[in-house]
Amino acid sequence: MPNLYTKAYEQSINDPDCFWGKIAQDCHWYKKWDKVLDDSNKPFYRWFTGGEVNTCYNAVDLHVDNGMGEQDAIIYDSPVTDTIQKYTYLQLKDQVAKFAGILASKGVGKGDRVIIYMPMIPQAVFAMLACARIGAVHSVVFGGFAANELATRINDAKPKVIVSASCGIEIKKVIQYKPLLDQAIELSDYKPDACIIFQRPQAKASMIGGRDFDWEEAMTTAFPHDCVPVKATDPLYILYTSGTTGQPKGVVRDNGGHMVALKWTMGAIYGVDKGDVYWAASDIGWVVGHSYIVYGPLLKGCTTIIFEGKPVGTPDASVFWRIISQHKVKTLFTAPTAFRAIKREDSKAQLMEKFDLSCFNYLFLAGERLDPDTLFWAQNALNVPVIDHWWQTETGWAIAANCVGLHQFDIKPGSPTKPVPGWKMTVLGDDGNPIIAGEIGAIVAKLPLPPGTLPTLWQNDQRYVDSYLKAFPGYYETSDAGFIDEDGYVFVMARTDDIINVAGHRLSTGGMEEVIAEHPDVAECAVMGVEDQLKGQIPLGMMVLNAGVIRDHAEVVKEVIALVRNKIGPVAAFKTAIVVKRLPKTRSGKILRGTMRSIADKKRYKVPATIDDYSILDEIEESLGKIGYGSKG
């Protein structure tokens, strides 16, 4: 007999209208859709056209209306400020409605953009939901990005209002956000009408009269704003993610499809129900934070945890276990890096022993490849299923997973198991033809993508088509390479572009190269992701200096590192660079980044037949050896 997964999967592919139409009935609609899947403007597929909804109503008010007002919606657990604060659904509604009133009083309405540049505090979530409440489009920018990156996003999104806080806290360091925000607004051509600043006791932001408003002060006189019906196809948010250049891609998410898909994934993929405590230990600046700190758990009526801390150092490697047992977490979702950090500090998981983890059912990991060592360690330590799942900012939810709410498959280490219902996955060769099971190629998804995925890039339909749909007509190109085995298990091996994954954070090496090339002494450069025991990958830069530069190379390296930190942000974790005489290239001038990466990672590599000068490889190996990389390291 087919299991629930097989039945759901087949129906989702053979009759998507019926599959998603039925699931959509689990949400509240002001007006029912005319069409479930609208394919009248291919390749721009839309879901639930004609329907009217409000995502905030479904995530907050609906639960209050259904008698769940006294249930905790949010638990804010901040070891860095020694705070635990809970908000019921009723209290959440109150905060969100009032903040929506403030936004409306600043002229923000349907379709207007609001940038949110905030640390992991409940006010960040209130601001996101308040935007959804009045039909405004939020764009959350991760706190670890520098002013320049924020400015790029301000120019692209053109927000009427920016919401921020005086500071973030990184373990013990207080990071002042307001000077970064002021600098970003100065750098950007577009200027917002107003900024609303949440003052934290750890740092007081200086305010600019007429432009900046104090969050708390505004809340004391705010009028609550009700939910506004929006079209299912109207944008809910823009989330910028690294592309292959310094210009990030503005991934758009709509209201209807996103709400339907995310609510369904909570049960089908993560095996949770309303009332359960669900914890995604990530940041609201990333897609994981959008989908599984904010929208997914709240749409489902779970209690979500906002964690302002790190897996280690706040105060130690037991913080995850403390939070699971104290708040009765059923499902935890984080990146493998977090577990590598814990394992490094407490390899025998002894710190776990004093906590009662009997409430805990599943650990889900994503964001980067799950290495077997980390998988086995987590399995042994926790004694619960450890589930790898694969997805991207663009997709908004998992492409491949072990959907424990439908059917729990045996896992295969190195594989995020099988395509989730809605995803028809294929592996194509360079010629665009499907290749046999087990062979590596480009992993692609047959169009149309399921609801909740990106309908386009913000005001850039052409870049959407060029980036994702052009290489393999009829398919969405994931830019991940891998294979599908004979049992239908997906294996994701590597990116096919210049994106690297540093501690589960997606970064563009092309973007870093653009910044390094701005240094007056640099003639050319290459940045590649090399293996790192903790962060999975870290960027390594190689630079050729201009002829005639006689300064100390170490000085130039220092300046280049500072430049990347100032322009992109500390999150780039760009800390290693070397000066080389030349970069190895093919005769046609293509830099051999892959070959250099193999040398740094001490991997065997095939010397390309087209290389212009073989002796460069020895020089590179020598230089890398001096900083501890490569076989001479």
Provide the token pair at 346. 């407490």
> CB of 623 within 8 A of CB of 633?
no
Q: Is residue 629 at the binding interface for ligand AMP, with CB under 6 A as the rule?
A: no
Question: DSSP secondary structure string, 221-257?
Answer: TPPP-----EETTSEEEEEEE--SSSS-EEEEEESHH
What's the length of the chain? Answer: 633
Instruction: Find which of ligand AMP, ligand COA, none residue 338 binds, CB within 5 to 8 Å per kind.
Output: ligand COA
CB closer to ligand AMP, 137 vs 287: 287
**Residue 571 C-beta: closest distance to ligand AMP, Å:** 12
Amino acid letter, 64: V
Q: Is residue 537 at the binding interface for ligand AMP, with CB under 6 A as the rule?
A: no
Measured between alpha carbons, how far is 241 from 448 in angstroms, rounded to an integer?
22
Q: Which of 303, 284, 331 is nearest to 89 (CA)?
A: 303
Q: Is residue 143 at the binding interface for ligand COA, with CB under 6 A as the rule?
A: yes
Site for ligand AMP (CB under 6 A): which residue of 492, 503, 599, 620? 492
* Nearest residue to ligand AMP on Cβ basis: 506
CB closer to ligand AMP, 290 vs 300: 290
Stretch that binds ligand COA, among 97-105, 200-208, 502-510, 588-596 (CB under 6 A): 502-510
Q: Which of 223, 216, 100, 108 is nearest to 161 (CA)?
A: 108
Touching ligand COA, residues 352-371 (CB under 6 A): 367
Q: Is residue 312 at the binding interface for ligand COA, with CB under 6 A as the rule?
A: yes
CB closer to ligand AMP, 161 vs 252: 252
Instruction: Find which of ligand COA, ligand AMP, none residue 168 binds, CB within 5 to 8 Å per kind.
Output: ligand COA
Instruction: Find which of ligand AMP, ligand COA, none residue 138 binds, CB within 5 to 8 Å per kind.
Output: none
CB closer to ligand AMP, 252 vs 287: 287
Q: Is residue 506 at the binding interface for ligand AMP, with CB under 6 A as the rule?
A: yes
Measured between alpha carbons, how far is 574 from 503 in angstroms, rounded to an integer?
12
**Residue 374 C-beta: closest distance to ligand AMP, Å:** 12
For residue 200, CA distances in Å to 119, 204, 208, 310, 352 come to: 11, 7, 17, 19, 32
What are the two backbone dihedrals, phi and then psi, of residue 338, each rounded to the nearest 5 degrees?
-60, -40
Touching ligand AMP, residues 411-440 (CB under 6 A): 416
> CB of 389 within 8 A of CB of 401?
yes
Site for ligand COA (CB under 6 A): which residue of 385, 570, 608, 625? 570
Question: DSSP secondary structure string, 491-554?
Answer: EEEEESSSEEEETTEEEEHHHHHHHHTTSTTEEEEEEEEEEETTTEEEEEEEEEEPTT--S-HH
Instruction: Find which of ligand COA, ligand AMP, none residue 480 binds, CB within 5 to 8 Å per kind.
Output: ligand AMP
Q: Is residue 12 at the binding interface for ligand AMP, with CB under 6 A as the rule?
A: no
The burial of 546, by beta-carbon neighbours within 10 Å (0-12 exposed, 13-18 middle, 19 or more buried), is given as exposed
Q: Is residue 269 at the binding interface for ligand AMP, with CB under 6 A as the rule?
A: no
Measured between alpha carbons, how far is 141 from 8 in angstroms, rounded to an integer?
35
Instruction: Find which of ligand AMP, ligand COA, none residue 144 binds, CB within 5 to 8 Å per kind.
Output: ligand COA
Spatial neighbors of 116 by CB under 8 A, at least 6 apart, are 124, 127, 128, 131, 138, 139, 140, 141, 162, 163, 164, 284
Instruction: Find which of ligand COA, ligand AMP, none residue 525 binds, CB within 5 to 8 Å per kind.
Output: none
Measured between alpha carbons, how far is 392 from 453 in angstroms, rounded to an integer?
10
Number of residues near ligand COA (by CB under 6 A) = 25
CB closer to ligand AMP, 194 vs 442: 442
> Which secondary-structure segment (H or E) carries 566?
helix 553-567
Q: Is residue 501 at the binding interface for ligand AMP, with CB under 6 A as the rule?
A: yes
**Residue 562 C-beta: closest distance to ligand COA, Å:** 12
Q: Is residue 366 at the binding interface for ligand AMP, with CB under 6 A as the rule?
A: yes
- How many helices and strands in the chain, by DSSP H and E? 20, 31
Provide the token pair at 80. 């860095």
Q: Point out which residues bind ligand COA (CB under 6 A).
A: 119, 143-144, 168, 170, 175, 282-283, 286, 288, 310-312, 335, 337-338, 341, 367, 503-505, 534, 570-571, 573
Q: Point out which residues bind ligand AMP (CB under 6 A).
A: 241, 287, 366-370, 388-393, 416, 480, 492, 495, 501, 506
